[in-house]
């Protein structure tokens, strides 16, 4: 979105608070609500002064995080929640729950987690590998005979996990949010997405290139269901959500377009106007992006996963191994970033009205999870990450 459009959008936000019976002009920009918890100390005899010093030197950059939240809602987002953990913890929120009333943003609200769902899917697959029910070098042709045509060379489970399978994306309900919006309550079965992608033939030989896409993880969901005889959603719940303590994370029931439970409304900029996109049938994303969660639950996922409580070694190593392919940055469910000289592993997710990031250093000395009610959730991901996630790794 260009600067002129952003200016117009910011103006529309102000108008949203000055029109209608529930408008409250004073809420045009809400001050951030923040809580800073001092870093844990190793010795119980340390003084509180020493603890505060440790928090200042090793804890998160609170000033930068508060600055990221200041001024919401603005031309980029109507609200945001951020949680930072590791050596010292902090969480904050700002913005509004919905534009009509201008009520303060809900903390620990449910949101569409988008492609961070892939982290859960990868964990389930790697658990099945650890149990001997799947083999990373086993092929789709063996597990799902007939799915791939003769044009495909053997595609392995590992190549699905790290996006090097060569599969092309299948049918969608539009290439942009504007195109998808009129079809938001329609159902596009994931099986149809896979079938139409397979019909295109391979993009490249398996293992030769890395191309990110949902289709890899839709096929992984089919593998999970085939070898377990159970639904993907139930396997995710029993293998990941419950062990990690993710009590407020779930998948919609079928094509249900609602976010059940307390949540903040999501809006997208369409032709300079903010349109409510909260209700949306995302069932075509399934294991690639249909999860609903909270920032606290996603933080629990990071800690349980990185500590090896969900996926045992050596399978966990797959999540921190980028394939030896030119330009590759993604592993099994995660992506490697370099932020302020630190190696950070994480995943982004974007669905209309909601942008999500989960990220951490491998040793969990710093973690960050955010949910931003972004008005251009897919298009402005990098700038949102630089604003809301990068400050967590300042020190």
CA distance readout (Å), 25 to 17, 77, 234, 306: 5, 17, 45, 44
Q: Report how far residue 332's alpha carbon sits from residue 122's, in angstroms, rounded to the nearest whole number.
A: 6
Q: Report how far residue 158's alpha carbon sits from residue 152's, in angstroms, rounded to the nearest whole number.
A: 16
Straight-line distance from the first to the last Cα atom of the chain, in angstroms, rounded to the nearest whole number: 31
CA distance readout (Å), 338 to 115, 295, 394: 20, 22, 12
Neighbours of 369 (CB within 10 A): 30
Q: 345 near 360, Cβ under 8 Å?
A: yes
165 tagged catalytic:
no
Please name the residues in contact with 344: beta carbons below 8 A apart, sequence gap of 6 or more: 336, 337, 338, 359, 360, 361, 393
Can you give the C-alpha Rg of the chain in angstroms? 21
Helix (H, G, I), strand (E, B) or coil at 280: coil
For the record, the structure tokens of 19 come out as 């029109």
Upstream peptide bond of 73 is cis (omega within 30 degrees of 0) = yes
Q: Report how far residue 87's alpha carbon sits from residue 77's, in angstroms, rounded to the nearest whole number.
A: 29
One of 115, 250, 293, 331 is an active-site residue; which one?
A: 115
Q: Report how far residue 191's alpha carbon sits from residue 215's, in angstroms, rounded to the nearest whole number.
A: 10
Closest to 86 measured CA to CA, from 371, 385, 368: 368
Q: What angle do CA 342, 344, 349 make, to 5 degrees?
A: 145
Q: Report how far residue 330's alpha carbon sits from residue 319's, in angstroms, rounded to the nearest whole number.
A: 9
Q: What angle do CA 54, 372, 338 make, to 5 degrees?
A: 55
> Which residues does the annotation mark as catalytic?
115
């Amino acid at each position: 979105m260009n600067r002129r459009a952003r200016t117009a959008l910011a103006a529309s936000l102000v108008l949203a608070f000055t029109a209608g019976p529930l408008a409250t002009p004073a809420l045009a920009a809400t001050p951030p609500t923040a809580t800073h918890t001092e870093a844990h100390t190793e010795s119980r005899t340390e003084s509180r002064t020493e603890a505060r010093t440790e928090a200042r030197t090793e804890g998160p950059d609170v000033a930068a995080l508060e600055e990221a939240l200041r001024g919401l809602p603005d031309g980029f987002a109507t609200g945001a929640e951020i949680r930072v953990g590791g050596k010292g913890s902090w969480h904050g929120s700002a913005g509004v729950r919905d534009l009509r009333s201008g009520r303060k943003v809900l903390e620990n609200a449910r949101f569409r987690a988008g492609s961070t769902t892939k982290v859960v899917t990868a964990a389930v697959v790697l658990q099945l590998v650890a149990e001997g029910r799947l083999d990373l070098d086993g092929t789709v042709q063996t597990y799902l005979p007939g799915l791939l045509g003769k044009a495909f060379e053997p595609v392995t489970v590992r190549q699905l996990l790290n996006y090097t399978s060569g599969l092309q994306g299948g049918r969608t309900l539009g290439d942009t949010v504007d195109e998808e919006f009129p079809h938001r309550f329609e159902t596009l079965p994931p099986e149809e997405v896979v079938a139409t992608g397979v019909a295109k033939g391979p993009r490249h030989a398996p293992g030769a290139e890395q191309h990110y896409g949902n289709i890899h993880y839709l096929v992984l969901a089919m593998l999970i269901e085939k070898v377990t005889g159970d639904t993907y959603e139930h396997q995710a719940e029993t293998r990941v959500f419950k062990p990690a303590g993710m009590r407020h994370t779930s998948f919609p029931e079928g094509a249900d377009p609602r976010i059940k439970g307390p949540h903040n409304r999501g809006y997208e900029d369409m032709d300079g106007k903010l349109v409510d996109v909260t209700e949306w049938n995302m069932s075509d994303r399934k294991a690639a992006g249909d999860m609903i969660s909270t920032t606290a639950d996603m933080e629990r996922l990071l800690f349980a996963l990185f500590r090896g409580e969900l996926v045992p070694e050596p399978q966990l190593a797959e999540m921190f191994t980028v394939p030896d392919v030119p330009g590759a940055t993604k592993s099994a469910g995660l992506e490697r970033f370099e932020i302020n000289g630190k190696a950070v592993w994480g995943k982004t997710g974007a669905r209309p009205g909601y942008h999500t990031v989960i990220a951490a250093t491998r040793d969990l000395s710093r973690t960050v999870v955010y949910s931003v009610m972004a008005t251009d959730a897919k298009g402005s991901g990098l700038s949102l990450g630089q604003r809301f996630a990068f400050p967590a790794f300042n020190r």
